[in-house]
C-alpha cells in the first residue's frame, strides 16, 4: 500500500486558515485529485477555500504548472512551411461572450502574414457560444485532429481551429466541472489557472487574451476583468510566453448575429472586406497584437481582409478539416420578428438577455452533452446608437421549431432600451484597456 506525501484535510485547513500553500502541497493536491486520491468533496472544499481566501501570485503560477504536468504538452519548435520558411506561432483566447465569432476571421487573417495560429477551442455552454459549434455548421467540417495532423496543417495552411485532445491538462477538465456545481466559477485564481494551463500546454510562443467586460461576459466590471487579465498576463510571463490582454466591451452583442450558422455568415462577410464595424475593429486589434507578439509590426493588418489573402487561408483551413467552403449553410425553418415599440435611439441592447434568448432558440446548450441547432439564433437589425422607428424590425429570431419562440421572447423582455431622439449610447470603443 503506497503512502501519500500529504493529507488533503491538512491542505484544506491551511487554505481555510488563509495560509500560503507550498509548491509541494500544490503539486501533490492537483496530481492526487487527477488520480482520484483526493475525493470530489475534498477538492470542493479546497476550491471554496480558494474562492473565499484567494491565492498569492506564486501559488497561482505553481497551480497552473501543476495542472499542466497532469497531461501532455504540445510543441511547435522547428515549425516551418513546406519550403523551409520558419513559422512563428501566436494564439488568442477569449473569456467568452455573445456573438463572439472573432476566432473565425482572426486565425486566417494572422496566418495570411506568415504566422501559424494553433487555435484549440471549445463548445458553448449556457448563453455564450462555442467556436467549434459555429464551425460545425459547415457541412463536413471536423474538429478532431491528431497532434501530427495539426502540425501538418499549420505547416501547409498556417491555421487550425480544433478541439483540445483528451490528454491536454486533464486536471482542468475535472476541476472545471467541479467548479460549475460548487458555485466557485467566479474566482480569479481558478479561472486564470484553468485558462492559462491549457494555453501554455498548447505550446504557442505568443498569446493574446480577449477579456470580456459587461452584462454578457463572465466579468461584469472593468475592475474585476482587469484583475483577471493581470493575473493571466503574469502567468504567461512566468511561463515564458509573450502575453498581452485586451479588455473588450461585452455589454451589447458583438456584431449583428448570435448563433452558429448566422455567425459563420457574418465572419465570411468580414473575411470578404465588409461586415459590422465592431467585429472588424476587434479582429484587427487582436491580429495586430498577435502579429506583434510574433515579431511582425508595421504592416497594414486590415488590408488582408480586403485583398482576399485572409479569405484564401480560410478556404484552405476549412477544406483541410473536411469542410466544404462553398456549401450552403443551414437555414432555420421558422422566423419571428421583434419590432421597436417607440421612435428614438436604441441606447441599450443587453448582451446577456440576447445570449439567453439565442440559447433558448436552440443555438446553445444547458449541459455539455446537449445538441445544438446550427441554424438557430438571432439576427440584429439595430445596434446601440442607431435611430429606430416604432414598428421597425429590431431583431429576427431563427429556430428550427416554432415552439421555442415563446421562451426566447420572455428572455428578451427589457433587452432593448429606446430613448428619445438625440440620446447617445455609452460605447465609444470596443477595446477598453490594454494590459501587458
Burial (CB count <10 Å: 0-12, 13-18, 19+), residue 433: middle
Give the 3-state secondary structure of residue 290: helix
Distance of alpha carbon 263 from alpha carbon 268, whole angstroms? 9
Cβ-based neighbour number of residue 237 at 10 Å: 13
Annotated catalytic residue within 172, 238, 278, 350: 172
Distance of alpha carbon 346 from alpha carbon 51, whole angstroms? 38
Distance of alpha carbon 57 from alpha carbon 171, whole angstroms? 20
Annotated catalytic residue within 94, 121, 194, 251: 194
Cβ-based neighbour number of residue 79 at 10 Å: 17
Give the 3-state secondary structure of residue 91: strand
Q: Which long-range contacts (CB under 8 A, 24 or more apart) does 227-232 make?
A: 227/188, 228/95, 228/188, 228/191, 228/192, 229/435, 230/435, 231/57, 231/60, 231/188, 231/189, 231/192, 232/192, 232/195, 232/196
Annotated catalytic residue within 93, 242, 315, 316: 93
Distance of alpha carbon 374 from alpha carbon 332, whole angstroms? 8
Confirm whether 142 is a catalytic residue: no
Distance of alpha carbon 34 from alpha carbon 22, whole angstroms? 19
Is there a contact between 123 and 130 (Cβ–Cβ < 8 Å)?
yes
Confirm whether 127 is a catalytic residue: no
Distance of alpha carbon 331 from alpha carbon 325, whole angstroms? 16
Residue 132 grid cell: 467549434
Confirm whether 93 is a catalytic residue: yes
Annotated catalytic residue within 101, 151, 174, 179: 179
Annotated catalytic residue within 198, 226, 353, 360: 198
Confirm whether 194 is a catalytic residue: yes
Question: Which residues are catalytic, by number?
Answer: 93, 172, 179, 194, 198
Amino acid at each position: 500500500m503506497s503512502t501519500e506525501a500529504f493529507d488533503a484535510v491538512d491542505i484544506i485547513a491551511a487554505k481555510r486558515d488563509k495560509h500560503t500553500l507550498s509548491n509541494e502541497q500544490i503539486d501533490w493536491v492537483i496530481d492526487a485529485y487527477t488520480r482520484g486520491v483526493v475525493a470530489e468533496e475534498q477538492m470542493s472544499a479546497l476550491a471554496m477555500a480558494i474562492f473565499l481566501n484567494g491565492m498569492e501570485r506564486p501559488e497561482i503560477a505553481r497551480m497552473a504548472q501543476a495542472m499542466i504536468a497532469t497531461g501532455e504538452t504540445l510543441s511547435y519548435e522547428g515549425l516551418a512551411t513546406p519550403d523551409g520558411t520558419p513559422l512563428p506561432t501566436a494564439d488568442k483566447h477569449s473569456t467568452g461572450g455573445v456573438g463572439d465569432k472573432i476566432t473565425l476571421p482572426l486565425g486566417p487573417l494572422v496566418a495570411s502574414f506568415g504566422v501559424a495560429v494553433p487555435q484549440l477551442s471549445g463548445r458553448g455552454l449556457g448563453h455564450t457560444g462555442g467556436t467549434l459549434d459555429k464551425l460545425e455548421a459547415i457541412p463536413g467540417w471536423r474538429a478532431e485532429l491528431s497532434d501530427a495532423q495539426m502540425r501538418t496543417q499549420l505547416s501547409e495552411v498556417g491555421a487550425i481551429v480544433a478541439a483540445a485532445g483528451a490528454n491536454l491538462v486533464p486536471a482542468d477538465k475535472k476541476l472545471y466541472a467541479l467548479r460549475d456545481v460548487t458555485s466557485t466559477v467566479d474566482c480569479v485564481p481558478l479561472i486564470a489557472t484553468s485558462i492559462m494551463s491549457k494555453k501554455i500546454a498548447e505550446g504557442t510562443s505568443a498569446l493574446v487574451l480577449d477579456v470580456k467586460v459587461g452584462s454578457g461576459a463572465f466579468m461584469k466590471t472593468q475592475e474585476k476583468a482587469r484583475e483577471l487579465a493581470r493575473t493571466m498576463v503574469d502567468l504567461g510571463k512566468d511561463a515564458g510566453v509573450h502575453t498581452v490582454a485586451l479588455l473588450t466591451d461585452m455589454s451589447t452583442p458583438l456584431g449583428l448575429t448570435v448563433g452558429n450558422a448566422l455567425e459563420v455568415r457574418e465572419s465570411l462577410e468580414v473575411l470578404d472586406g465588409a461586415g459590422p464595424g465592431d467585429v472588424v475593429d476587434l479582429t484587427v486589434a487582436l491580429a495586430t497584437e498577435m502579429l506583434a507578439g510574433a515579431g511582425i509590426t508595421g504592416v497594414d493588418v486590415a488590408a488582408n481582409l480586403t485583398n482576399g489573402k485572409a479569405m484564401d487561408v480560410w478556404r484552405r483551413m476549412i477544406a483541410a478539416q473536411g469542410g466544404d467552403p462553398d456549401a450552403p449553410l443551414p437555414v432555420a425553418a421558422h422566423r419571428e420578428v421583434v419590432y421597436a415599440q417607440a421612435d428614438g435611439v436604441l441606447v441599450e441592447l443587453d448582451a446577456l438577455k440576447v445570449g439567453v434568448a439565442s440559447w433558448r432558440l436552440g443555438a446553445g446548450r444547458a449541459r455539455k452533452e446537449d445538441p445544438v441547432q446550427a441554424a438557430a439564433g438571432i439576427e440584429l437589425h439595430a445596434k446601440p446608437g442607431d435611430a429606430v422607428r416604432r414598428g421597425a424590425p429590431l431583431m429576427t429570431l431563427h429556430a428550427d421549431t416554432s415552439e421555442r419562440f415563446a421562451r426566447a421572447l420572455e428572455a428578451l423582455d427589457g433587452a432593448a432600451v429606446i430613448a428619445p431622439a438625440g440620446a447617445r449610447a455609452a460605447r465609444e470603443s470596443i477595446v477598453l484597456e490594454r494590459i501587458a
